[in-house]
């Protein structure tokens, strides 16, 4: 299948591109390289530089690639940043997605897989979290993704573009070639691994007074390969709607640090900091729908193997991808 990956130079996009190429798809990556990395694009994919905020660039990319489906990752992702500087999230994530859908309708491209998030639910009313929960985002980031889902739902109903919303829990891990390189980094696992890499002295735990067994927040960590696999399964004609993607297991911040100590053999000193604004106590996915309808089976569910894969990648890429344009 001819697939256009918008945001294919980013963390989840790069691994999805790699796995699409492995599966024999004809892949084009569309990216502005503002936060992604040229070196993260699989050389088997065609690279088209462009920006969703410039509609003519996505229109041209759809034409050039002849895409039958689009997988859309191109967005700002930092929750904290979205609460300090909200409007660029609406401009990039929402207007950009609107431009993409307009271009898809004009080009007759009838399938979209959208990178959504469990942050569209806000604080959940039940645990584990399935897709029937009300969506009440508590951050601009979550709101921006929910607005995109709404735009896409109407486009599906009126223009017949089949839309799949994959709502991720905590993406982590790496393949041999592609891993996590955000700047600035805010995610727990890469920050922890900066300690044994000699790039920071210690990790800070944001609050140990949550209502959990060890007092630290619990998250559902899902391997990037498993996430990427769900996108490939979702390309199948006839699939649409929302799917939560997680392992269904929760690990606390302290448990993740302990696993990283075992994997790296480094003591990884940790200090306590106050709670980080906006953090939910516990987020765990019920992914029964993805298993049943997509036939999705996470294969790298064990936290140790997730952290090991990230550690291997960071050891072989201590400076990440280096310069963005290289
Ligand atoms: N944490 C620390 N210290 C750090 C970094 C993180 O204790 O230095 C804690 C956080 O407080 C949180 C947990 O580790 O409890 C995980 O934090 P991350 O920043 O790695 O991930 P989040 O759960 O905050 O965010 C993730 C995605 C977002 C998505 C969100 C949905 O990165 O894109 O899940 O809630 F929106």
**pLDDT tens profile 13-71:** 999 999 999 999 999 999 999 999 999 999 999 999 999 999 999 999 999 999 999 99
Q: From the alpha carbon of 141, which atom of ligand 1 is closest?
A: 36
* Mutation to probe ligand 1, out of 253, 273, 277 (largest number of atoms < 8 A from CB): 253
Q: What percent of the chain has pLDDT over 90?
A: 95
Q: What percent of the chain has pLDDT over 70?
A: 99
pLDDT digits (tens, 9 = 90+) for 88-97: 999 999 999 9
* 255, part of any domain: no
Average pLDDT, integer, range 243-263: 98
* 121, part of any domain: yes
Residue nearest to atom 18 of ligand 1 (CA): 187
The pLDDT, as a whole number, for residue 324 is 55
Q: Which long-range contacts (CB under 8 A, 24 or more apart) does 233-239 make?
A: 233/294, 233/295, 233/296, 234/113, 234/164, 234/166, 234/294, 235/1, 235/3, 235/69, 235/71, 235/111, 235/113, 236/294, 237/111, 237/162, 238/162, 239/162, 239/164, 239/293, 239/294
Q: 300 catalytic, yes or no?
A: no
Q: Which residue's structure tokens are 């899902």?
A: 222
The pLDDT, as a whole number, for residue 293 is 98
Query: How many structural domains does the chain have?
Result: 1
Average pLDDT, integer, range 228-247: 98
184 preceded by a cis bond (ω within 30 of 0)? yes
Average pLDDT, integer, range 138-142: 95
Residue-wise burial string across 95-127, b where 16 or more C-beta atoms lie within 10 A, e elsewhere: bbbbbbbbbbeebebbbbbbbbbbbbbbebeee
Q: From the alpha carbon of 256, which atom of ligand 1 is closest?
A: 14
Q: From the alpha carbon of 273, which atom of ligand 1 is closest?
A: 7
* 56, part of any domain: yes
Asked whether residue 152 carries a pLDDT value surpassing 90, the answer given is: yes
Confidence of residue 322 (pLDDT cuts 50, 70, 90): confident
Average pLDDT, integer, range 151-174: 98
* 232, part of any domain: yes
Q: Which residues contact 260 (CB under 8 A, 6 or more apart)?
A: 189, 192, 193, 196, 266, 268, 307, 311
- Domain carrying residue 72: 2-172+222-245
CATH of the domain at 73: 3.40.50.720
* 164, part of any domain: yes
- Is the whole model's pTM more than 0.80, yes or no? yes
The pLDDT, as a whole number, for residue 323 is 61
* 137, part of any domain: yes
Q: How is 123-192 classified by DSSP, letter by letter?
A: S-SSSSB-TTS----SSHHHHHHHHHHHHHHHHHHHH--EEEEEEESEEE---SS-----SS---HHHHH
70 lines ligand 1 (CB under 6 A): no
Q: Which of 11, 76, 141, 321 is the catalytic position?
A: 141
77 lines ligand 1 (CB under 6 A): yes
**Cα R_g (the chain), whole angstroms:** 19
* 200, part of any domain: no
260 lines ligand 1 (CB under 6 A): no
Mean pLDDT of the chain: 96
**Cα 111 from Cα 123, distance rounded (Å):** 30
119 lines ligand 1 (CB under 6 A): yes
Asked whether residue 305 carries a pLDDT value surpassing 90, the answer given is: yes
* 309, part of any domain: no
ipTM (interface pTM): 0.96
């Amino acid at each position: 299948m001819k697939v256009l990956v918008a945001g294919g130079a980013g963390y989840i996009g790069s691994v999805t591109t790699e796995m699409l190429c492995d599966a024999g798809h004809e892949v084009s990556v569309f990216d502005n390289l503002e936060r992604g990395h040229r070196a993260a694009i699989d050389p088997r994919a065609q690279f088209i530089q462009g920006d969703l905020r410039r509609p003519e660039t996505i229109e041209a990319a759809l034409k050039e690639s002849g895409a039958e489906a689009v997988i859309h990752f191109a967005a700002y992702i930092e929750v904290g940043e979205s609460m300090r500087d909200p409007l660029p999230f609406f401009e990039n994530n929402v207007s950009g997605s609107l431009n993409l859908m307009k271009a898809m309708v004009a080009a007759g491209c009838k399938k979209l897989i959208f990178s959504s998030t469990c942050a569209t639910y806000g604080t959940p009313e039940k645990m584990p979290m399935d897709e029937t929960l009300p969506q009440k985002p508590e951050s601009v980031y979550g709101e921006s993704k929910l607005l995109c889902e709404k735009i896409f739902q109407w486009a599906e109903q009126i223009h017949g573009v089949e839309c799949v919303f994959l709502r991720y829990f905590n993406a982590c891990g790496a393949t041999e070639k592609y891993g996590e390189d955000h700047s600035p980094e805010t995610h727990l696992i890469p920050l922890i691994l900066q300690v044994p890499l000699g790039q920071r002295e210690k990790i800070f735990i944001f609050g140990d007074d949550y209502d959990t067994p060890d007092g630290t927040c619990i998250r559902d960590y899902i391997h990037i390969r498993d996430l990427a696999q769900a996108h490939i399964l979702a390309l199948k004609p006839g699939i649409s709607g929302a799917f939560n993607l997680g392992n269904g297991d929760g690990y606390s911040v302290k448990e993740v640090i302990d696993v990283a100590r075992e994997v790296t053999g480094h003591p990884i000193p940790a200090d306590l900091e106050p709670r980080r604004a906006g953090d939910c106590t516990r987020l765990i996915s019920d992914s029964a729908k993805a298993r049943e309808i997509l036939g999705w089976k996470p294969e790298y569910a064990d936290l140790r193997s997730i952290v090991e894969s990230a550690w291997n990648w960071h050891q072989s890429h201590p400076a990440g991808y280096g310069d963005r344009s290289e």
